[in-house]
Amino acid sequence: MQVPTPVLFRAGSPHEVVAVDVDEPRAGEVRVRMAASGVCHSCLYAMDGQHAGIPMPIVLGDEGAGVVESVGPGVTTVVPGDHVVVSWAPGCGRCRTCRQGLPALCGDQPPLGRMGDGETRYHLDGADVYHYGPATNAPLAVLHERAVVPVSPKIPLDLAAMIGCAVATGVGAVRSTARVRLGESMVVVGCGGIGANVLHAGALAGAYPIVAVDVVPGKFDTLRAIGATHCVDATAPDALDQVLAATGGGADFAFVTTSAAPAFGLALRSLARRGTCVLIAGYPDDTTVAFDPGHLLNGERRIIASKYGSSNPPVDFPDLVDLYLAGRLPLADMVSGRWGVHQVDEAYDALRRGEATRGLIVFDS
Binding mask 209-248 for Zn ion (x = CB under 5 A): ----------------------------------------
Among 20, 35, 36, 40, interactor with Zn ion by CB under 5 A: 40
- Residues 6 or more apart whose CB falls under 8 angstroms from that of 256 comprise 189, 190, 263, 264, 267, 277, 278, 279, 280, 281
Amino acid making up residue 25: P
Closest contact distance (angstroms) between CB of 141 and Zn ion is: 15
In whole angstroms, how close is the CB of 257 to Zn ion at the nearest point? 11
C-alpha dist (Å) from residue 323 to 246, 320, 328: 29, 5, 5
| Residue placing its CB nearer to Zn ion in the complex, 57 or 91 | 91
Pick 59 or 165: Cβ nearer Zn ion: 165
How far apart CA 19 and CA 95 sit, in angstroms, is 37
Least Å distance, CB 106 to Zn ion, is 3
Stretch that binds Zn ion, among 27-35, 36-44, 171-179, 263-271 (CB under 5 A): 36-44
CB 61, CB 107: distance < 8 Å: no
Q: Which of residues 123-152 bind Zn ion (CB under 5 A)?
A: none
The stretch among 42-50, 195-203, 211-219, 354-362 that binds Zn ion (CB under 5 A) is: 42-50
Which of 103, 74, 101, 77 minimizes the C-alpha distance to 90?
Answer: 103
Minimum CB separation from Zn ion for residue 254, in Å? 21
Cα gap 239→266, rounded to integer Å: 9
- Residue closer to Zn ion (CB basis): 65 or 251: 65
CB of 40 to Zn ion, least distance (A): 3
Q: Which is nearer to Zn ion, 35 or 239 (CB)?
A: 35
Choose between 95 and 350: whose C-beta lies nearer to Zn ion.
95
Query: Among candidates 159, 175, 144, 138, which has minimal Cα distance to 62?
Result: 138
Residue 167 DSSP SS3 = helix
Q: Which stretch binds Zn ion (CB under 5 A): 34-42, 261-269, 333-341, 353-361?
A: 34-42
281: nearest Cα among 203, 165, 175:
165
- Minimal distance, residue 186 CB to Zn ion, in Å: 21
Asked whether the beta carbons of 174 and 202 are under 8 A apart, the reply is yes
Contact 311, 172 (CB under 8 A): yes
| CB of 42 vs Zn ion, minimal distance in Å | 5
Q: Count the neighbouring beta carbons within 10 Å of the beta carbon of residue 111.
A: 12
Q: Where are the alpha helices (DSSP H) in 30-134?
A: 41-47, 96-99
Using the minimum distance from each CB to Zn ion, give the nearer residue, 66 or 91: 91
- Least gap, CB of 54 to Zn ion (angstroms): 15
Q: Which C-beta is closer to Zn ion: that of 39 or that of 207?
A: 39
What is the distance of C-alpha 323 from the center of its chain? 18
DSSP-assigned letters across all residues of 278-289: EE-----TT---
To the nearest whole angstrom, how small is the minimum distance from the Cβ of residue 95 to Zn ion?
A: 3
Residues 57-116 that bind Zn ion (CB under 5 A): 62, 91-92, 95, 98, 106, 108
- C-beta closer to Zn ion: residue 192 or 275: 192
14's CB contacts (< 8 A; 6+ apart) are 345
Size of the site for Zn ion (CB under 5 A): 10
Residues counted in the chain: 365
Between 246 and 263, name the residue whose CB sits nearer to Zn ion: 263
x-marked contacts with Zn ion along 155-174 as a string, rule CB under 5 A: ----------x---------
Q: Which amino acid is at 132?
A: Y
Task: Say whether residue 252 binds Zn ion (CB under 5 A).
Answer: no
Q: Which residues bind Zn ion (CB under 5 A)?
A: 40, 42, 62, 91-92, 95, 98, 106, 108, 165
